[in-house]
Amino acid sequence: MRLVILGTGNMAAGHAAQFAAIDGVEIVAAIDVEVDRAATFAASYDIPRTFGSLDEALDWGEFDAVTNVTPDRFHHPTSMQAIAAGKHVFCEKPLATHYDDAIEMAEAAERAGVINMVNLTYRNVAELQKFRELVDAGTIGAIKHVEASYLQSWLVAKAWGDWRVEPTWLWRLSKGHGSNGTLGDIGIHILDFAAYGINSPVENLFCRLKAFDKAPDGRVGDYVLDANDSFAMNIEFGCGALGVMHATRWASGYLNTLRLRAYGEKGGLEVQHGLDGSSLQICAGDDVELAQWKPVQVEAVPTNYHRFADAVRTGINGDPSFRYAADLQKVLDLGFVSDAERREVAVI
């Protein structure tokens, strides 16, 4: 696979390192409207060519696939352009900033017959994959209740930087600078963590959003701090289970931690993933009577990057696909509707 990297900002480094380590993948170009940044990036990863636009790269055309690492609002136009040119696309999350664009991308990719996948990062967690395997095997029986959380603390800690002075973080707090807040940014991760983990889509939801006071007059310079900092969602899944899901940037003591618990008629499972590693534990069989949890050992799994390369090689689309990510985006969009209208909404 001859691959180009579209966008050379912060996330691009991970894509370059991951794809460069895969046999049969050759990174042939880097694209960025900031040509100096593209040149510096390309030199760092021994990438032979740079382009200042996707148009220029498509005119050249000597590549098979694009890994799209542009800012969220550019995912739709750039991916559509690549799809129209017959290129396979691996896109960063979220697929688009709203469902209408996301489903358009999915349908276009399916019509064109190109491989389309979304980098929902936490699919790389082996413990989550084992969680899903145990659920599918019926190890804990029919699931009745689900808890899912995504906890960050960068609004109260400076471990990753100071949001008060750094645009990298400030834009995430401002609707006017393209942010959909915590729900739009990390909501897709915890939603996928839960829906994939229990192998069931969301059917109904009720969501509340909250942006807390963080600065005088609610702003820092040109940044109006009006994007949601926290969300809480009540969910009914397709399998019939009830669930609660929440995420916040105010969780002191947690830099970046995802947790999923599922309770079934025969036992329970819990997976946790953070910067210090991952864990999976189970309470099932005779242990249910003693409320005793035991760790589950797991083996490494292929990453999204490997699975995209394999999909291009075999011609068989991998998961998570554009359509799956579009379905997640629909749930997120309805979360905003639910909050605005203060009502439960159905995911039709």
Q: What are the distances in angstroms from CA 219 to CA 163, 208, 209, 211, 278?
A: 12, 22, 19, 12, 37
Q: Dump the DSSP string for 187-205.
A: HHHHHHHHHHHHT--EEEE
In the chain, the domains with their CATH numbers are 2-116 (3.40.50.720), 123-302+318-346 (3.30.360.10)
Q: Are 55 and 46 in contact, with CB atoms under 8 Å apart?
A: no
Structure tokens at 251: 């969780």
pLDDT digit string, tens, across residues 130-151: 999 999 999 999 999 999 999 9
Lowest-confidence region among 10-14, 114-118, 262-266: 10-14
Q: Tell me what pLDDT residue 10 has.
A: 85
pLDDT per residue as tens digits for the range 244-281: 999 999 999 999 999 999 999 999 999 999 999 999 99
* Of the candidates 237, 104, 249, 87, the residue with the CA atom closest to the CA atom of residue 179: 249
Q: Is the pLDDT of residue 290 over 90?
A: yes
Distance CA 146, CA 263 (A): 6
* Crossing angle for the helix pair 304-314 and 12-20, to the nearest 10 degrees: 60
Write phi, then psi, for 255 (nearest 5 degrees). -75, -45
- Residue 326's pLDDT band (cuts 50, 70, 90): very high
Enter the pTM of the model.
0.93
